[in-house]
């Protein structure tokens, strides 16, 4: 009869499903053993992320726009050639206002030729037209509420416990959402790995007690790097945030960037 | 005739749903990476992998091991904030094996920072190269102690 | 040599004006034509489904002839929806990660689940309940491959008793109701992806998901109208004018609502003139001029609005052949216009710098994964699938069941 056939087939099917579920636990143990073999090693094992909180700050008054940091970053991290930058320098040239215009400033010219990697050419306006001019190094702002981490669909980019915002290159699917979500333009899609990339604070250096390459190479100490959890009273980063009135980039977006800038101007976005 | 527990359509669909959801859960158990979720919504192993990358620049501390006399001279003058590799380039290989020499310097290094530019801060020593004395910077300046003459 | 080192003049790329962040100096937009096509396709799916639900949920009897075609249209487009995303990913082989470890703070993470839910629990299920009786009947009289297909899709449930058919009708009705918010979720989350990006003033605003859904409904109704007319023309049948006029009416009103909300977005932007407004003005004027004014506004909105609006006013006085042509032209123009709208949103958001100081121009390639050719192929594929589905499930030779589900539901009540 149709009814009985339905019941029998239903019971056999349910039984099969339950048997399948029981094999799960055995399969899981086997899977874990197999995957353990592939766990990466080779990094210093004595580093505890929870004991550090890294931060980089920028003193705009000290940047001379030499671009050594941009070059050093590219070399240190193997950043691809072309419009791909983990850090870069922007030059701001604020011209004098037209006499009689009743304004405090003329137009603002911003440029970043090749990220500032080979320095900057002479300014496009004559020296006597320049009211203010300065260089602003830019990098990942290490946001407290990173929009990039928020939007990653798979969990490939994340806030590390020690303050860096990192990307897992083996897990990133290359969707580009984080690149669109970053308000500061600090992310890019690598044409080599087809994953997102950004400043990692030279994670492989700072976890070995070295400084990030850009900080190492900066001739004027415009980039100040330190460990907020282990900063003594003479630590440059402590002196920076204790002695300077600071700003952050795009505070109205609510990302709570941790990178502090001293000497910024209202024209810097 | 005995009525089945559920209408036949519903029964068939419930079984199908269980099969689909079940296979999803099984797949998930296998395809989620092992360290995922340990520290947050990411593969904790990634921290280890990112740390494992070998550094390229050696760092000023590495130079101090053999060249502490130069560094002491450097610390007394205005170039004390410079790292050796800012001018001498990547010197990791040299740090590991002193027989491999780092980059030989030319005067272009000096101009890169010291060419006068209105965007540079006023406290920074800048020169208009074509109006400045001499043809080679090292004629009048010792690179490690720029206020000294050779 | 020394001067040249420090005074290196960077190659001035003509496609940038003003200042753009160095990372924005890439030759092609990060989200290209493929990402334009994806919301277009899911929008058509959602819209076609809403069109079908007008029949089941809102009991618009005049649209009954187009119910099954709308559902099959939704299915054929949904089957292709993942392709643009897969082709766009940097690592498509890792695509499963989105379902294994979905990051719940990301709107993109719900894609796998909402797609699976909509495909299986809404669309296929509703189709199954609607078709089940027919599949059982067709399976009895068809041999060969088609017969196997029909038998397989019955899932072995061959009960054709009164109770079973009543259950089919009831389940179909329930699924139609469940399907409406599901359709909104399927397409609305895409709008939310853009609307949630506060870093981008062109995208990040609260109206974005709503505008996406409304334009999706418009495009879906237009697509069903288009498909219906093409199918009747291919089969040399006469168009059911009552059905067509009703579709044109819904299309008109949907277009009015959509245009109103999009106009609200414009008015608010111009009035509030927030920080990014000046760069957006530059971007629109220089980079989006034709796609916005010609494509979206004129072709996609103004002309169909005039054509369909005049039909609402003068319907009886316009002879049938002219009405048919006006409706067909409007539907086709709306389809172009909504594609232009998706272009303006997706590409437009990448044509200006986040520094708000510059605009970029990109040239879209013809060949390549993100090129025109691939886009056209991906847009044609659903029509090919629809042809197969129509041959199988809207075949002229196989009669559909006479029982109309509404009658069963009415009988139950």
pLDDT of residue C367: 78
H-assigned helices in C57-143: 67-80, 82-88, 97-100, 111-116, 125-141
Contact B51 A204 (CB under 8 A): yes
Contacts of A170 in chain B (CB under 8 A): 43, 46, 49
Contacts of B106 in chain C (CB under 8 A): 2
Contacts of A93 in chain B (CB under 8 A): 118-119
Buried/exposed code over C241-259 (b: 16+ C-beta within 10 A; e: otherwise)? eebbbbbbbbbbebbbebb
How far apart, in whole angstroms, are the C-alpha atoms of residue C222 and residue C200?
31
Q: Report pLDDT digits (tens) over C179-217.
A: 999 999 999 999 999 999 999 999 999 999 999 999 999
Contact A14 B33 (CB under 8 A): no
Cα distance from A149 to chain B (closest Cα, Å)?
10
Query: Tokens representing A242?
Result: 């204790």
pLDDT of residue A35: 47
Q: Report pLDDT digits (tens) over C314-360.
A: 977 889 999 999 999 999 999 999 999 999 999 999 999 999 999 99
Q: Judge whether A24 is closer than 8 Å to chain C, CB to CB.
A: no
Contact B57 A76 (CB under 8 A): yes
Contact map slice: B 100-129 vs A, CB within 8 A: 112-113, 115, 117-121, 124
Contacts of C129 in chain B (CB under 8 A): 9
Q: What are phi and psi of A185, to 5 degrees?
A: 65, 30
How far apart, in whole angstroms, are the C-alpha atoms of residue A95 and residue A104?
10
Q: Which whole-number Å values give the CA distances from C326 to B54, C221, C257, C337, in the listed order?
A: 68, 15, 20, 16
pLDDT of residue A8: 64
Contact map slice: C 8-37 vs A, CB within 8 A: 8-10, 19, 21-26, 30-31
How far apart, in whole angstroms, are the C-alpha atoms of residue B77 and residue B44?
45
Q: Is pLDDT above 90 for C402?
A: no
Q: Residue A40: pLDDT band by 50, 70, 90 thresholds?
A: very low
Q: Which helix (H) or strand (E) holds A135?
A: strand A130-138
Q: Which helix (H) or strand (E) holds A94?
A: strand A88-95
Contact map slice: A 96-155 vs C, CB within 8 A: 109-115, 118-119, 121-122, 138, 147, 149-155
Q: Closest by alpha carbon to C369, among C96, C32, C9? A: C32
Sign (positive/negative) of CA torsion A242, A246, A252, A258?
A: negative
Q: Report strand pairing: A165-167 vs A130-138.
A: unpaired
Facing residues of A57 across strands? A224
Contact B112 C6 (CB under 8 A): yes
Stretch C245-250: mean pLDDT, rounded?
96
Contacts of C102 in chain A (CB under 8 A): 153-154
Total residue count of chain C as it appears in this document = 413
How far apart, in whole angstroms, are the C-alpha atoms of residue C394 and residue C135?
11
Q: Is pLDDT above 90 for A27?
A: no
Residues with Cβ < 8 Å from A31, sequence gap 6 or more? B29, B30
How far apart, in whole angstroms, are the C-alpha atoms of residue A109 and residue A118?
19
Contacts 24+ apart (CB under 8 A), C214-217: C214/C254, C214/C257, C214/C258, C214/C261, C214/C262, C215/C43, C215/C258, C215/C262, C215/C338, C215/C341, C216/C39, C216/C42, C216/C43, C216/C44, C216/C46, C216/C47, C216/C187, C216/C338, C217/C46, C217/C47, C217/C50, C217/C254, C217/C258
Side-chain-side CA neighbours of residue C12 (13 Å): 6
- Averages of pLDDT over runs of 10 residues in chain B (150 residues) are 74 93 95 92 94 93 90 93 89 85 76 93 92 85 88
Contact B111 C6 (CB under 8 A): yes
Measured between CA atoms, the residue of chain A closest to residue C358 is: A110
Contact B108 C171 (CB under 8 A): no
Measured between CA atoms, the residue of chain B closest to residue A7 is: B4
Contacts of C171 in chain B (CB under 8 A): 9
Contact map slice: A 132-161 vs B, CB within 8 A: 133-135, 155-161
Q: Report pLDDT digits (tens) over C218-244.
A: 999 999 999 999 999 999 999 999 999
How far apart, in whole angstroms, are the C-alpha atoms of residue B24 and residue A30?
19
Share of chain A above pLDDT 70, in %: 83
Query: What pTM, to 2 d.p., does this model score?
Result: 0.89
Q: Closest by alpha carbon to C157, among C123, C124, C134? A: C134
SS3 A196: strand
How far apart, in whole angstroms, are the C-alpha atoms of residue C200 and residue C212?
17
Contacts 24+ apart (CB under 8 A), A12-18: A13/B15, A14/B15, A17/B15, A17/B18, A17/B19, A17/B22
Measured between CA atoms, the residue of chain A closest to residue B2 is: A3
Contacts of B36 in chain A (CB under 8 A): 155
CB neighbours of residue C362 within 10 Å: 15
Q: What are phi and psi of A103, to 5 degrees?
A: -110, 160
Q: Judge whether B135 is closer than 8 Å to chain C, CB to CB.
A: no
How far apart, in whole angstroms, are the C-alpha atoms of residue C147 and residue C409?
30
Residues with Cβ < 8 Å from B33, sequence gap 6 or more? A35, A171, B43, B45, C101
Q: Judge whether A208 is closer than 8 Å to chain C, CB to CB.
A: no
Specify the DSSP class assigned to residue B105: P
**Is B105 within 8 Å of B143 (Cβ atoms)?**
yes
Contact C108 A84 (CB under 8 A): no
**Is C192 within 8 Å of C208 (Cβ atoms)?**
yes
Q: Which helix (H) or strand (E) holds B104?
A: none
pLDDT of residue A39: 42
Contacts of C353 in chain A (CB under 8 A): 185
pLDDT of residue A261: 98
């Amino acid at each position: 009869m149709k009814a009985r056939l339905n019941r029998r087939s239903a019971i056999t099917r349910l039984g099969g499903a339950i048997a399948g579920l029981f094999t799960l636990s055995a399969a899981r143990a086997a899977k874990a053993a197999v995957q353990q073999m592939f766990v990466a090693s080779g990094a210093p094992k004595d580093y505890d992320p929870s004991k550090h909180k890294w931060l980089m700050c920028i003193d705009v008054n000290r940047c001379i726009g030499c671009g050594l940091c941009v070059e050093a970053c590219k070399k240190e991290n193997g950043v691809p050639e072309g419009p791909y930058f983990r850090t870069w320098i922007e030059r701001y040239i604020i011209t004098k206002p037209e006499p009689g215009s009743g304004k405090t400033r003329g137009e603002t010219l911003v440029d970043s030729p090749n990220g500032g990697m080979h320095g900057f050419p002479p300014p496009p306006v004559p020296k006597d037209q320049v009211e203010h001019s300065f260089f602003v190094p830019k990098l990942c702002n290490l946001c407290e509420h990173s929009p990039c981490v928020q939007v990653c669909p798979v969990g490939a980019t994340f806030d590390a416990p020690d303050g860096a915002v990192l990307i897992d290159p083996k897990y990133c699917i290359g969707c580009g959402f984080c690149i669109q979500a970053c308000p500061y333009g600090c992310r890019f899609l690598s044409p080599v790995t087809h994953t997102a990339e950004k400043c990692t604070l030279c994670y492989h250096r700072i976890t070995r007690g070295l400084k990030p390459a850009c900080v190492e190479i900066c001739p004027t100490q415009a980039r100040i790097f330190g460990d907020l959890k282990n900063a003594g009273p003479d630590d440059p980063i402590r002196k920076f945030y204790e002695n300077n009135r600071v700003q952050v980039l795009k505070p109205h977006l609510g990302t709570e960037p941790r990178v502090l800038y001293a000497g910024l101007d209202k024209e810097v976005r | 005739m005995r009525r089945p527990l559920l209408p036949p359509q519903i029964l068939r669909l419930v079984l199908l749903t269980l099969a689909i959801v079940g296979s999803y859960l099984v797949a998930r158990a296998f395809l989620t990476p092992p360290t995922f979720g340990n520290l947050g919504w990411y593969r904790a192993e990634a921290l280890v992998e990112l740390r494992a990358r070998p550094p390229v620049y050696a760092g000023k501390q590495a130079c101090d091991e053999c060249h502490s006399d130069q560094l002491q001279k450097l610390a007394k003058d205005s170039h004390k904030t410079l790292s050796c590799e800012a001018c001498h380039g990547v010197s990791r290989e040299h740090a590991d094996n002193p027989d491999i020499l780092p980059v030989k310097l030319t005067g272009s290094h000096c101009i890169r920072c010291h060419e006068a530019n209105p965007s540079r801060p006023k406290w920074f020593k800048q020169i208009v190269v074509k109006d400045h004395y001499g043809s080679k910077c090292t004629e009048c300046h010792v690179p490690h102690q720029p206020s000294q003459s050779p | 040599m020394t001067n040249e080192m420090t005074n290196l003049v960077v190659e001035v790329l003509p496609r940038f004006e003003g200042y753009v962040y160095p990372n924005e100096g890439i030759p092609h937009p990060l989200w290209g034509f493929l990402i334009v096509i994806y919301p277009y396709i899911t929008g058509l799916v959602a819209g076609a489904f809403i069109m079908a639900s007008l029949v089941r949920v809102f009991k618009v009897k005049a649209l009954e002839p187009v119910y099954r075609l709308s559902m099959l249209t939704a299915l054929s487009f949904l089957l292709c929806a993942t392709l643009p995303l897969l082709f766009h990913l940097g690592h498509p082989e890792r695509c499963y990660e989105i379902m294994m470890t979905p990051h719940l703070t990301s709107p993109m993470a719900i894609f796998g689940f909402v797609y699976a839910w909509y495909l299986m629990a809404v669309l296929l299920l509703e189709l199954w309940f609607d078709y089940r009786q027919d599949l059982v009947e067709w399976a009895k009289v068809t041999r060969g491959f088609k017969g196997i297909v029909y038998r397989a899709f019955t899932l072995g449930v061959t009960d054709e008793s009164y109770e079973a058919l009543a259950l089919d009708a009831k389940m179909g009705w329930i699924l139609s109701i469940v399907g409406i918010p599901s359709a909104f979720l399927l397409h609305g989350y895409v709008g939310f992806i853009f609307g949630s990006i506060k870093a981008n003033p062109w995208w990040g605003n609260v109206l974005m998901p709503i505008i996406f859904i409304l334009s999706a409904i418009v495009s879906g109704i237009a697509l069903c109208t288009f498909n219906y007319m093409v199918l009747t023309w291919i089969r040399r049948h006469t168009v059911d004018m009552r059905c067509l006029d009703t579709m044109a009416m819904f299309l008109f009103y949907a277009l009015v609502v959509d245009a109103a909300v999009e106009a609200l977005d414009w008015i608010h932007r111009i009035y509030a003139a927030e920080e990014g407004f000046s760069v957006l003005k530059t971007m629109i004027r220089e980079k989006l001029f034709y796609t916005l004014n010609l494509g979206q506004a004129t072709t996609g909105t103004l002309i169909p609005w005039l054509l369909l609006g005049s039909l609402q006013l003068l319907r009886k006085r316009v002879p049938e052949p002219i009405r048919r042509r006006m409706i067909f032209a409007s539907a086709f123009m709306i389809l172009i216009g909504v594609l232009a709208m998706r272009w303006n949103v997706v590409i437009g958001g990448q044509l200006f710098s986040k520094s708000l100081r510059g605009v970029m121009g990109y040239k879209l390639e013809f060949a390549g994964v993100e090129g025109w050719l691939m886009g056209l192929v991906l847009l044609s594929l659903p029509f090919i699938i629809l042809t197969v589905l129509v041959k199988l499930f809207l075949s002229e030779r196989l009669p559909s069941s006479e029982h109309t589900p509404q009658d069963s539901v009415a009988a139950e009540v």
